[in-house]
Amino acid sequence: MGRNIIVVGCGRVGSQLASMLSENGNNVSVIDENPAAFDNLGGSFNGTTIEGVGFDEDVLLRAGVETADCLAAVTARDNANLMAAEVASRIYKVPHVITRLYNPGHERTYEQLGLDYVCGTSLVAEEVFAKISSGHGSHIDSFGDFELLRFSLNLKGNNLKQVRVSQLEKSHEVRIVAFERDDGRMSSIPTSESILYHGDSVLACVRHSRVNSFSKWIQD
């Protein structure tokens, strides 16, 4: 059964993403300020188009935000994407919100806000599509039977103050590739004896079949 997905922005990236999602059986609503932008979708698109600003609540309600499983904000403006993402996640509690980020200097801020994002100028639609398809906000890439995830470590939910890398790796068929302390003052490629703390930013390689069981270590 397809999911309900809102795409904010119908430029090159948004139209490509919307078409990919629609072709995979999802219910897609596309928002753009410029009605001419919907021409980018082509005749095969069978979703809904809504003219308006992507962070306007009335527009989002018309797009079905109250029942949306995911919203992807991929306009050409960082501020517009951020505002749409914030409204969707904070007000309407959309389970999975992804935003396109142009300025890589803002990556740390987005991480601190807990926003899932794609930063780059090429293959953006494919990266966002992969995130939506995986169902995991921390998804970076897939290869073979594995997913590469970047996330903030959840220890409080597991009633721990710290955890050894070897504990995570042995219990979940995971390889911890790198980590950064919550305050940003230290980053490292760990050994099996390295200690991780709540809120640390972690880069991990996880087998597809173990992602759900491993998700208890990922902060929402």
Domain map (residue ranges) of the chain: 4-135, 143-217
Strand partners, 118: 100
User: Given a cut of 60, is residue 176 above it in pLDDT?
Assistant: yes
Residue 172, C-beta contacts closer than 8 angstroms, at least 6 positions apart: 206, 210, 213, 214, 217
What are 53-71's pLDDT values in tens digits? 999 999 999 999 999 999 9
User: Given a cut of 60, is residue 18 above it in pLDDT?
Assistant: yes
Q: Please state which of the four CATH numbers 2.30.30.50, 3.40.50.300, 3.30.70.1450, 3.40.30.10 is assigned to the domain occupying 143-217.
A: 3.30.70.1450
Q: What is the pLDDT of residue 137?
A: 55
Give the pLDDT band of residue 134 (cuts 50, 70, 90). Answer: low
**Average pLDDT over the chain, rounded to an integer:** 86
What is the average per-residue pLDDT within 141-161?
Answer: 80
Residue 182's region, left for phi above 0, alpha for psi from -120 to 50, else beta, is: alpha
Percentage of the chain exceeding pLDDT 90: 45
Q: What is the pLDDT of residue 165?
A: 93
User: Given a cut of 80, is residue 126 above it in pLDDT?
Assistant: no
**DSSP for residue 140:** E
User: Given a cut of 90, is residue 187 above it in pLDDT?
Assistant: no
As a whole number of angstroms, the distance between CA 63 and CA 42 comes to: 20
What are 70-101's pLDDT values in tens digits? 999 999 999 999 999 999 999 999 988 999 98
CATH of domain 4-135: 3.40.50.720
